[in-house]
Each structure stands twice: as structure tokens, then as C-alpha cells.
């Protein structure tokens, strides 16, 4: 896998309030402590060193996206098979982890990819374009379906067939869609022969 080609970055996410998409805190978030400038700098320097060390320690764990994908962006997944294979088509799905947020209840809680690019006899790139109506949040790659030239399909599942991959999507769009006020069943109408 060529490192310059992929968008999967291993990093530790800083937990933020539930209102922040993907649990990532904006870089300019104020922490609310009133501390002297020198003490604050020392604390920040120490925290930075701890974060850097933790980031290196977690690099071997679950791959996480450090940046948020926006509508129009393409999520690129690189798959390397143990043996040469000719793929006819692929299908992958990312599912939203958690609930849809207010203002995005009608948005899609999944991201699908079907664009296949052959890189070698064993390596393929699968692309998933983030649509305008994909909800904000953290998404986990759940499965990849791969079909070979003999029309045989195999499903590869996250956690058992490949490591769990998580990406963050940020969509600032909102859509109002009213709730149902009431519902009732109409009377049975007779059909005459």
C-alpha cells in the first residue's frame, strides 16, 4: 500500500461534547480554565507531549480519520489480497455509529462505495463519494462485497476479515421534515364484482 495515496490516518481523537460531530473538538475550543500564561503554556506543552506519545501508542490499534470528510469528498479504501485476483465489481458500506442528529433525520446513515480501481494484480482501490445528504457523524466500514470474474461473490466483514476502519463525516446541511401529527385507518370499502 502506498502511504501517500490513502486518506486513512491513525490518530487519537480528543473527546468533545456530544454536539460536536465525531467527538472531535474544534482546534480553537476554549477549555474554561483561568490560568496564568506561563502555567498554561507548560500545561499545554506537557499535554502536547502526552498526546503525541498516546498517538504513537495507538497507531497500531484502530485506524481513525483525523480529518472530517465533507459532501463531495471521496473516501478511498485500499485493499490488498493475499493472492492475485481479477475483480469484476465491489460494494462496500460504512454505517453511522450512533443516532441521526436533529435537522438530519432524513439524511442517509450510511455511505456506500462501488467505484473500483485496479492498482496491481493483488491491490485495488475502492472509492465512496460523500453525497449531499449523508449525515454528520462517525462511520465504521462494516463490509466489503467483492465479485470476481467468475461471478463468485465473497463478503468480507470488519473485525474478522479486516481491521475496523472509522471515518468522520461533517455535513453542515440541515433539512426540516415535519413529524406526523396523527394517523388513522380508513373504513373498508366494498369492491363490487
pLDDT in tens, 141-188: 999 999 999 999 999 999 999 999 999 999 999 998 888 999 999 998
* For the chain, domain boundaries: 3-169
The CATH code for residues 3-169 is 2.60.40
Whether 163 and 79 have beta carbons less than 8 Å apart is answered as no
Q: How far apart, in Å, are the Cα atoms of 66 and each of 10, 63, 97, 124, 182? A: 7, 9, 16, 23, 44
- Give SS3 for 96: strand
For the question of whether the overall pTM of this predicted structure is more than 0.75, the answer is: no
Whether 6 and 78 have beta carbons less than 8 Å apart is answered as yes
Amino acid at each position: 500500500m502506498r502511504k501517500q495515496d490513502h486518506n486513512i490516518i491513525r490518530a487519537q481523537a480528543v473527546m468533545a461534547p456530544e454536539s460536536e460531530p465525531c467527538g472531535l473538538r474544534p482546534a480553537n475550543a476554549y477549555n474554561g480554565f483561568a490560568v496564568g500564561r506561563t502555567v498554561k503554556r507548560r500545561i499545554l506543552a506537557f499535554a502536547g507531549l502526552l498526546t503525541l506519545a498516546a498517538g504513537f501508542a495507538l497507531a497500531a490499534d484502530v485506524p481513525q480519520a483525523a480529518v472530517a470528510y465533507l459532501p463531495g469528498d471521496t473516501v478511498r479504501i485500499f485493499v490488498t489480497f493475499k493472492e492475485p485476483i481479477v475483480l469484476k465489481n465491489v460494494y462496500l458500506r460504512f454505517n453511522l455509529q450512533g443516532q441521526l442528529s436533529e435537522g438530519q433525520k432524513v439524511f442517509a446513515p450510511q455511505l456506500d462505495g462501488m467505484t473500483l480501481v485496479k492498482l496491481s494484480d493483488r491491490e485495488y482501490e475502492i472509492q465512496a463519494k460523500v453525497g449531499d445528504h449523508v449525515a454528520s457523524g462517525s462511520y465504521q466500514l462494516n463490509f466489503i462485497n467483492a465479485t470476481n470474474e467468475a461471478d463468485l461473490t465473497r463478503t468480507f466483514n470488519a473485525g474478522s476479515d479486516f481491521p475496523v476502519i472509522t471515518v468522520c463525516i461533517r455535513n453542515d446541511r440541515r433539512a426540516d421534515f415535519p413529524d406526523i401529527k396523527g394517523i388513522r385507518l380508513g373504513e373498508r370499502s366494498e369492491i363490487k364484482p
